Structures are given as structure tokens and as C-alpha cells.
Structure 1
Amino acid sequence: MSATGNSELGNFTSALSSTISTQVQQQSLPSSALWNITLWTLSAIANSTEATTAYPLNGSLTTVTSNVTSLPTNMTSSSINVTSQPTYPRSSLPLYHLIVNVFIVGSICLAGITGNVLSIIVFSVNKERSSTFELLRALAVADCLLLMLLFIHYVVPSIYPYTGYLKWYMDFIPKMMRYTWPTGYVFMTISNWLILAVAVDRYHAVCRPFKASEFCTLKRARITIVIVVIMAILFILPNYLGAIRIGFFPCVNNPTAYCFYNIFIDNLVYGIGYRIVLHLLCLYVVPITILVYVNYNLILALKRADARRKTMTKREKEATESRSLTRSFIVVIMIYLGCATPTFLSQFFLAFRAFIDPQILVNYQYYFSINIVLIVINSAANFFVYAFIGARFRQILFSIICCCRPALRHQGSVSSLRSHQNAANRLSVLSKESRSSIATVDDGIDSSQ
């Protein structure tokens, strides 16, 4: 590295250390604590000859917090090894993020938000209150809020690195990150656990029907929703306390690099016990294991139900609707498993990122965007599954959108009225035929006389 590069790095690190020390003292934090700064800021500043082409990652939350290196606040140029820090051309990752995060993720987010809003309306209009519908409505709310937050933090910030537009947004978004980043994890946790709750609910309804009336109640479903929300907030609470925005520093003409101080970063219990063990167990291992078991049993139950379908008489319609709902949720579980598994595997990668070559971390950014695509697909796909498989869901949806059919709450009375009208029409036809036959007999008698 040139002498100019060393000089710029020394000036940068000195100013950075001074600024952070001041911020740390203002927040009554230990000056020797470790803090996180994006890998790319050091790379772009240190390699002065490549500073115009070295771009940091966009302002996405997980990107900022995932790919970092821990440095003491009294760092100097001699204590930083910048020769191994990777850089990439302007047309590489920013363009990739523009295509994937803006066009692909953005489109899925908008479609998913619209679909989840329609799902909330359908489940609210449906007068057949059940534990499953109540849980599915709460799931739609959580997915809708998660998609909105992903749109704010991954779609919009990905516009600036390549186009240069919305710089004001890049200056504004760091002020929100301390609160919105953990909130996104709250919504994701609620969504994951509600899918688990619906799976258990359908398992009891289908595989243990004699206990369903006791277990699958509306009151129990609402209590479950409240417990899930409270537990999710408590589970993510350390992230609210752990991420404190120290400041942000411009990297040449690139997006702002954000620095976060983590008050638990030097705590072994937090690092291993919470970030690795609890996150993996509570958000991935346990839910995925239970969902695989439940999904397998639901599929077997549906096969047995299809084999007995021809013997059904009076309750055939109700059984068909129940099977349709179960099929819909089986597909929802399969989508969740397909989308969550790559994210689950990436957690092992991030857990040991300190031992991974920096160049591999660069390539991981491409994989990380694919993870975001899978997350938004998981939250956006449920509506389309309901609409494609659920006949009752389609019926309510069409009556809402087209406004040409009566609402479902009047469907029973309308069906009854139609049946009475059909019966009256049949009686009218029979009476006409009777009168016609009588008239024919009379004519025959008259002619014989």
C-alpha cells in the first residue's frame, strides 16, 4: 500500500477513534469496549487508489451487522491489516443489489403486502370463526408488517449505491435502525412461531379429532397469539439493548457506513449462548423439526381421508372444506421449510465469520440477497396458496372484490331462499303437468260422449 494510503488510513482511524470515544463517553460506555464497523469502509479508505471504485454494502441492516470486524476504539493504522480487505468494481455488487433487492424483492414485497391485506380482510369477513382462521389472520398481519419493514430496509436503500438517487434516505435510515432492526426480527419470530401454532392446531383437528373440540378453540387461539407476541418481544429484547448507533461516516462518495456499539459483544454468554444456541434452536431447529413431523402426519391423514371420501354422506361438504384447508397449510409448511432451510444454514456461516477469509465474505453478499428473496417469498406466498387451493377462501375473496355476490354471512339465508324457490318452481311445473293431464282426460271424455 502506498504512503498516501497509509496516511489517509491513519487520519481516518484517528478521527474515527476520537469520534467514537466521544460518543461512547456520552453514552457512559467503557472506552475499551469493542465496536463494530463495516468491513468495506476500511477497505475503501485504505486502498486510496481504488477508493473511487470500492463500494461499501448498501444500507441494509443485516449486511451492516453481519459482515463486520471487531476493533478496539484506540485502533491505529499499524494495528489494522488492510491488505486482505477485498474490494470490487462499482458495476458488481451495487448493480446486483439493484436487480435483486429492488426489482425482484421489491416486486415480491408489494405483491405480498397486497395479498396479506386481502387475506386479513377475508379472514375477518368470514363468519365461521375457528382457531385456524384466527391464527392465519394473525400470521397474515405479521407477514404484512415484516414485508413492509423489509421494503424499507432492503429495497429502498439498494437504489442509491448504483443510481445515486435517494441520498437523503440513506442519511435518514440510520436514525431508525436501532429500533427497526430488532423489530424486523420480532415480526419474523412471530411469523415463524405462528406457522408452528397453526401446524399444531391442524394436527389436532385432523389427526386427533376427538380432542379437537377441546384444543382447537377460538379462546385458546387468541391466547396463543398473545403469548407468541410477548415471547417474541422478550426473545429479541437483547437486540434492542445491544445495538446502539454510535455514528456514521461517509466513505468517499458512497453510501454511509454505519457503526454500532454492541454492549454484549464481549460477553461470551451472549455471543455463544444467545446469538448461536438460542437463535438456532428457537428460530430454526425446533420449529423445522416439529413442522416436518406435523407435515408428514397431515399428509398421511389426508391420504386416509381421500380413501374414505366415497363413503361420506351428510358431512361430505364439511369434510371437503376441512381437507382443502389442510392441503393449503401443508403447502404453506413446505414453502416455509424450503425458504427457511437456506437461512438456517447461513447462520452457521455467520456464527464463524471471524474465521472466514474476507474474500468469501464478499461472495456471501450475493448469497445473502438470495436469502432475502426466500424470506419475502415465504411471507408473500401464503395468500396465493389460499386462493389457489382453498375454495372457500376464493369464494369469499370473489364476493369482496367483485361485489356481485352476497357476503358470506348472508350465504346461508340466500342458499335457503334459493332452495325454496327451486322447490316452488318444481311444484309449479308439477301442477302445470297435472292440470295438463287432467285437461287431456276431460277432452277424451268429452270426445267419447
Structure 2
Amino acid sequence: MEAANTTDMDTVGEVNKTLEEYEQFYLNAQFATGLVFYPLLCTFGFLGNVMSIIVMSRKSMRTSTNMYLITLGVADTVKILNDFLYFIVILCLRVDPLTGNKAMGLLYPYCHYLLNMSLCASAWLTVSVAVERYIFICMPTKAKEYCNLARAKIVSVAVFLSVIVISLPFAFRYKTTLKFNNASNTEMYEVEVNNLWQNPHFSVPFNWIHTCLRTVIPLIILTFLNTSIVLGLRRSRAANKRPSAKQKITIMLVSIVIIFLVCVTPDAIMSTAFGLGYYEESYLARGVREITDSFLLINSAVNFIPYCIFNKHFRRTFLGIFGVKMFNKLSRSSIAETTRDNLRNSGIQTVMETKLLLSSESATLCAPNNNPGG
């Protein structure tokens, strides 16, 4: 009997030790992502998306493709701002636990909705861009009919309105309750799963439907479209050795789709293959979620890079808007003034003036004397 009790105690001890290790893993992952990775990438992504939206909103840049990319930038910016709020909450939890607890309790239910809504919008706007490029490359005779600015505006607005409605149940997934904590002798905010979401007859089907709409179906469509576009691009490049501007834009859009596929797949595996949620899961699952959510943030933050690399028109417009050419002219003028000052200070200009003076005196001496008394 004593041996059995000892074995049970050892088992309980091992379980507790494992739980502590998973908790530490979660806290380390939260620190690395929430306090280090998030603020850097959020700052870069926010500035990149805002500048991209400004550039593509110019009259000379108004195309159907850029309309989709502008809307995609808006969706990605919502995701980035949402993640920046998470950084602020995690920082408050470290610096002032009571304020951080209150911020977490009040913001988390709504931020969870914004996360799922923006991700779903980003996925289907990326699909919209890929569909349009597929028509341009593989069905060029249909391009004028289906690929125009008016249609792009309608599709973009329809995507946003649809995902706002479809994702609405996520706004009611969690509720915040105020409970007395005996350990700290204070009232603490706790985030709990709502009664509706505790019902498996609702939560399981809805999770599967939304996950399929947010990740699985877009991934399948994008894989097919990307493969078709790449094959079509190879055929066109075989005929024309030098890539055209349209081909470079296609390469840019293909790179955006590849970034989406790479960054979204880990989250899709977590949600579908393992069926894992978020705040209510174990420390191990929450720690892994911190990592997969970082990939989602990368997807929202780096589109500015392929825009600059592959789109020459975007680069020129960007430089024209943000005054880089003017900066270069001012820099050259400043350098010229500095050079003149250095020459003046070093006495070179004085030497040149002396040489000119001697030359003028020599010319005077050598000049013919017209004085008759000479």
C-alpha cells in the first residue's frame, strides 16, 4: 500500500514538474515574441503598410491590382495594430501586473475578434490578387472584362463586409469576469470562455468552418493558382528572354502569395490538425501559439519589401512622394559648399588668387609702352 502511494506521489510530482516546464516555455515564448519581436516588426510593418497605401493611392498608380493591395494593406494594418496592443498588455503585465491584468481582461475578447477578422480578410484579398494575376497570365483575353478598377473596388468591399459578419461570433467567444484573488488580496480580471462557446454543438462546427474559410480553402486555392501562374510565367519568359514590367509585377505577387503560404500554414495546422484554441488551452499549446502568431505577423508586415524589389513604378513613386530626390539634391549642395569652405580654409584659394595677381603684373610689364617720351 505504501509503495503504491509512493508511486502515485512520484507520478504527481513528475506531472507538476512537466507543467512547470511548459509554463516556463510559455512565458519565455511570450517574452521573446511579445516584448522583443512584436514591437520591432509592428513598427516596421505599420510604416511599410502606411507608405504602401499612400503610394498606391496616387493617381498614376490606380490599377485594379493596386486596389486589392491597398485593401490588403488595410487588413494587415489592423492585424499589426492589434498585435501592438498585445505588446503593450504584455509590457504592462511585467511592469505593473494589476494594470496589465485589467488591460488583458478588457481588451482580449475584442482583440481576439479583430485577429480572426483581419486574418480572414487578408487571406481572401490575397486570393483576389492571385485570381486576377491568373487571369492576366493564363486567360489574357478575359483580362479587360474581369480585371478593372471598378470590379476590384466591389470585390474588396465585399470581402471586408463578408469577413466582418462571418467572424462576428468571435467577439462573443470570451467574457471578462472580476473575481477576488485570495493570494494577492485584490480583485483580478479573468478571461473565460462564454457559455455559447462551451457548447460543442456550436463551437466545433463553427471553428472548423471559420478555419477552413480563413486558412485551408485559401491555401488550396493559392497553391493551385500560384503553380499555374509560375508555369505560365515560365512559358512567357521562354518566348521573351528579357522580363517585362508586367512579368516583374507578376513575380512580386507570386512572392506575396509564397510568403502567405509559408506564414499561415503553421497556424492552419494548429487550428485544424490539432484543433487547438487560444487562451483556454494548456501552457504548451499557448507557447506554440505565440510562435505561430509571430509568423502571421510576419505575413502582415513584410509586403512592402517585394513591392520595392520588383515594382519599378512603385519605387519611383515612393521616392517622388517622400522627397528622397530632394534629399539627394540638398546633400550634393551641402557637399559642394563644404568643399569650397575646406579649400578656402586650406589656403588653396589664396594661392590661386596670388597666381592671378602675378599673371596680371607680368602682363602689365610686357605691354608695349606708348609714351613718346620713353
Cα-to-partner distance string for 1:57-116 (whole Å, 9 max, x where unaligned) = xxxxxxxxxxxxxxxxxxxxxxxxx97992359975434422222111221111101100
1:284 is displaced (CA, Å) by 1.6
Output the amino acid matched with 2:227.
Y
Q: TM-score, normalised by structure 2?
A: 0.75
Question: Does the Cα contact within 8 Å between 2:55 and 2:314 map onto a contact in 1?
Answer: yes
Match of 1:138 among 71, 75, 86: 71
1:348 — aligned with what?
Answer: 272
Cα-to-partner distance string for 1:146-196 (whole Å, 9 max, x where unaligned) = 10111102x1222245x4347424323422333332122111111111101
SS in 1 for 2:244: helix
Change (3 A) 1:282 1:246: same
Match of 1:389 among 306, 310, 326: 310
CA distance in 2, matches of 1:255, 1:342: 37
**2:140 is the alignment partner of 1:209:** yes
Match of 1:264 among 188, 196, 204: 196
Change (3 A) 1:279 1:248: farther
Cα-to-partner distance string for 1:34-68 (whole Å, 9 max, x where unaligned) = xxxxxxxxxxxxxxxx9xxxxxxxxxxxxxxxxxx
Change (3 A) 1:128 1:362: closer
Q: Which runs of 5+ in 2 are unaligned?
A: 1-12, 327-374
Question: Does the Cα contact within 8 Å between 1:109 and 1:147 map onto a contact in 2?
Answer: yes
* Structure-to-structure mapping, 1:49-448, within 5 angstroms: 86-88=19-21, 93-153=26-86, 155-161=87-93, 163-165=94-96, 167-247=98-178, 250=181, 252=183, 258-276=190-208, 278-310=209-241, 320-348=244-272, 350-351=274-275, 361-404=282-325
CA distance in 1, matches of 2:35, 2:227: 36
Question: Does the Cα contact within 8 Å between 1:97 and 1:369 map onto a contact in 2?
Answer: yes
Output the amino acid matched with 1:152.
L
Output the amino acid matched with 1:367.
V
Output the amino acid matched with 1:187.
S
Output the amino acid matched with 1:273.
P
Output the amino acid matched with 1:235.
I
CA distance in 1, matches of 2:276, 2:324: 55
SS in 2 for 1:245: strand
Output the amino acid matched with 1:131.
S
Output the amino acid matched with 1:382.
N
1:352 is displaced (CA, Å) by 6.0
SS in 1 for 2:318: helix
Change (3 A) 1:111 1:255: farther
1:325 is displaced (CA, Å) by 1.0
Output the amino acid matched with 2:158.
I
Output the amino acid matched with 1:105.
Y
After superposition, the CA RMSD in angstroms is 3.0
1:235 is displaced (CA, Å) by 0.8
Output the amino acid matched with 2:121.
I
CA distance in 2, matches of 1:322, 1:174: 49
CA distance in 2, matches of 1:256, 1:302: 58
SS in 1 for 2:19: coil
- What is the aligned length? 310
CA distance in 2, matches of 1:89, 1:190: 33
Cα-to-partner distance string for 1:358-411 (whole Å, 9 max, x where unaligned) = 9x9333333222112101100011111111222111111111223537xxxxxx
CA distance in 2, matches of 1:291, 1:225: 17
SS in 2 for 1:258: strand
1:248 is displaced (CA, Å) by 5.1
Output the amino acid matched with 1:137.
I
Question: Does the Cα contact within 8 Å between 1:244 and 1:260 map onto a contact in 2?
Answer: yes
1:202 is displaced (CA, Å) by 0.9
CA distance in 1, matches of 2:176, 2:291: 27
CA distance in 2, matches of 1:300, 1:260: 49
Question: Does the Cα contact within 8 Å between 2:267 and 2:292 map onto a contact in 1?
Answer: yes
CA distance in 2, matches of 1:262, 1:123: 42
Quick check: which has more Rg, 1 or 2? 2
1:249 is displaced (CA, Å) by 5.5
1:68 — aligned with what?
Answer: none
1:243 is displaced (CA, Å) by 3.0
1:256 is displaced (CA, Å) by 5.3
SS in 1 for 2:57: helix
Question: Does the Cα contact within 8 Å between 2:41 and 2:301 map onto a contact in 1?
Answer: yes
